[in-house]
Chains A and B, each alone.
Chain A
């Protein structure tokens, strides 16, 4: 059976569109995941490098009490429950070094529990 070239083209376009729709329906799967674990009174890793304009999924995993990350200058805030995890899509919009703090009071060293985001071009 012969298939006309025009029909092949239409078929290819339909397949491509279908693939595109499928990808757009999986928002977090297409972004780089950055996993950060937290325990009293530190984050691991303590330094994270991101690209300006690149959307990532930040995953915060707590190993003990509730913790959070807040970076006011970047508008970033994520909190996770005791022993649990939370994730947030995040797109840094400026370059520089930004220090985030634990945003959930977690004890005597809470104020010194920091993480640094290096946002580069």
Chain B
């Protein structure tokens, strides 16, 4: 299944991220990520503080894992755009702008150390 997803099912393999990598774009990606992605992936993209991460089917992957990092930038954009059916990953097209999604891809390539950003506020009450 891993090979099928990486080679066949997830499109956009050759598309390049139009954004330049900089501290600004990483910060913008982190900001966009914090609005929509943290509920399942945590602030650090590594599920820190997400109580149901390993109870989903399939479990929510760490975005720092090799399985995720081996997607090309274009494929990561496609995953965020379209989601992955039948996993719990929802489509974000229309909810986030293209520029925000590309900035998230930059952030995904520069994730912080696990746990370094704490846990999402929504789970700390």
Size category, B interface:
10 to 19
DSSP class of A's interface residues: helix, strand, loop or mixed?
mixed
CA distance A50 to B46 in the complex (A): 45
Q: State the total of A-B contacts with C-beta under 8 angstroms.
A: 28
Whether the Cβ atoms of B99 and A105 lie closer than 8 Å is no
Interface mask (A102-118 → B, CB under 8 Å = 1, otherwise 0): 10010011111010000
Q: A49 at the A/B interface (Cβ < 8 Å)?
A: no
CA distance A43 to B35 in the complex (A): 21
Whether the Cβ atoms of A109 and B94 lie closer than 8 Å is yes
Q: B97 at the A/B interface (Cβ < 8 Å)?
A: yes
Residues of A within 8 A of B64 (CB): none
Q: A101 at the A/B interface (Cβ < 8 Å)?
A: yes
Which 8 A-B pairs rank lowest in CB-CB distance, beginning with the nearest?
A105-B35, A101-B97, A111-B96, A112-B94, A111-B97, A111-B94, A111-B95, A108-B95
A→B interface (CB under 8 Å):
70, 72, 101-102, 105, 108-112, 114
